[in-house]
A and B are shown apart, each in its own frame.
Chain A
Amino acid sequence: QSVLTQPPSVSGAPGQSVTISCTGGRSNIGAGYYVNWYQHLPETAPKLIISANNDRPSGVPDRFSGSKSSTSASLVITGLQAEDEADYFCQSYDSSLSAVVFGGGTKLTVL
């Protein structure tokens, strides 16, 4: 059971928007620790797409955006494209565990 909770799957049609949630608690997201998001395609290494809650690293399309509120965070993908189909993971730090923690991952299907 992951410390950060994500929905197992989301889906959307091309051009639509989807939101992936990441729910934590008072010792991680709620304590102010940054949330980072990764896109993971099969047979490749994960790719950082959102840094420090809402920053996009260079080269990441502005269709990807992140936000944080209280003990949760969200990744929004607008204008869905077929190549967005992947697993998405949130990550933060938990002070009670003294550990870097990941969400369970969300599989995005582009219909």
Chain B
Amino acid sequence: HVQFVQSGGEMQKPGASVRLSCKASGSTFGDYVVHWVRQAPGQSLEWMGWINADNDDTKYSQNFQDRVSITMDKSATTVYMDLTSLESEDTAVYYCARDRHCYSGWCIGQYFGMDVWGQGTTVTVSS
């Protein structure tokens, strides 16, 4: 029974960078993609990007314009998300979550839903 354990809360100043981690407990990430999704106070969920745990391929939201980078350690048990040039608007709860993304065949391009989530990490950006 895989669980995702995220790193602890962060307080950062505007302009700083933050690295969050997401560790798979009890397994590796396998051939899933691992998304990062955030929720600012009072806002909806916002997708930031994903990494394919099988081949390290990545895909990012254009909303973050090269501020975000998602990587994985070689053991394929921990995924990292780096966010640079932090602004107060980046104050949010950040989640990692796995998903099945279909690359070929009848289901190509489909996402089957984020079925395992980390507990969330609160990032506060304030001067």
Asked whether, in the complex, the Cβ of A89 is within 8 Å of the Cβ of B62, the reply is no
**Bound Cα distance A75, B63 (Å):** 28
Mask: chain A, 19-61; 1 = CB below 8 Å from B; 0 = not: 0000000000000011010101000011110111000010000
The prevalent SS among residues of B at the interface is: strand
The number of residue pairs between A and B whose CB atoms lie closer than 8 Å in the complex comes to 73
A: residues with CB less than 8 A from B are 2, 33-34, 36, 38, 40, 45-48, 50-52, 57, 89, 91-93, 95, 97-105
Residue of B nearest to A101 (CB): B47
Residues from chain B with Cβ under 8 Å of A104 in the complex: 44
Q: Given A99-B62, A101-B47, A46 and B115 touching (CB < 8 A)?
A: no
Asked whether, in the complex, the Cβ of B45 is within 8 Å of the Cβ of A93, the reply is no
Asked whether, in the complex, the Cβ of B114 is within 8 Å of the Cβ of A38, the reply is yes
The prevalent SS among residues of A at the interface is: strand
Q: Which of B44, B59, B115 contacts A89 (CB 8 A)?
A: B44
Q: Given A45-B120, A46-B95, A102 and B111 touching (CB < 8 A)?
A: no
Q: Given A2-B44, A102-B45, A36 and B117 touching (CB < 8 A)?
A: no
CB within 8 Å of A: which of B76-113?
95, 97, 109-113
